[in-house]
């Protein structure tokens, strides 16, 4: 089974820390990835080699190009 967590970024914060901890805890059992809608952020270094991090690079406001993969 594969699990994808979607969050705005992985900068330091409560929700970001929870997603990081969940991804790390389940990475041994499931294929886990985190999709950052805006940018990856500082917590990415905790995930290197264990969890795939995808950054869409969305800008402020409506940015349809971010969802198209640029």
pLDDT values of the chain reduced to their tens digit, one per residue, 70 residues: 999 999 999 999 999 999 999 999 999 999 999 999 999 999 999 999 999 999 998 888 887 777 775 5
How crowded is residue 46: how many other Cβ atoms within 10 Å of its Cβ? 14
How crowded is residue 18: how many other Cβ atoms within 10 Å of its Cβ? 12
pLDDT at 64: 77
C-alpha separations of 67 from 11, 14, 58 in Å: 21, 25, 8
pLDDT at 43: 95
pLDDT at 66: 74
- Predicted TM-score (pTM) of the model is 0.87
pLDDT at 69: 58
Domain ranges of the chain: 2-65
Instruction: Say how far apart CA 33 and CA 39 lie, in whole Å.
Output: 14
The tokens of 66 are what? 């971010």
């Amino acid at each position: 089974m594969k699990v994808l967590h979607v969050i705005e970024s992985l900068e330091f914060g409560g929700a970001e820390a929870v997603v990081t901890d969940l991804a790390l805890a389940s990475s041994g059992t499931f294929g886990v990835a985190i999709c950052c809608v805006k940018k990856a952020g500082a917590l990415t270094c905790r995930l290197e080699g264990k969890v795939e991090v995808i950054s869409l690079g969305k800008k402020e406001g409506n940015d349809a190009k971010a969802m198209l993969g640029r």
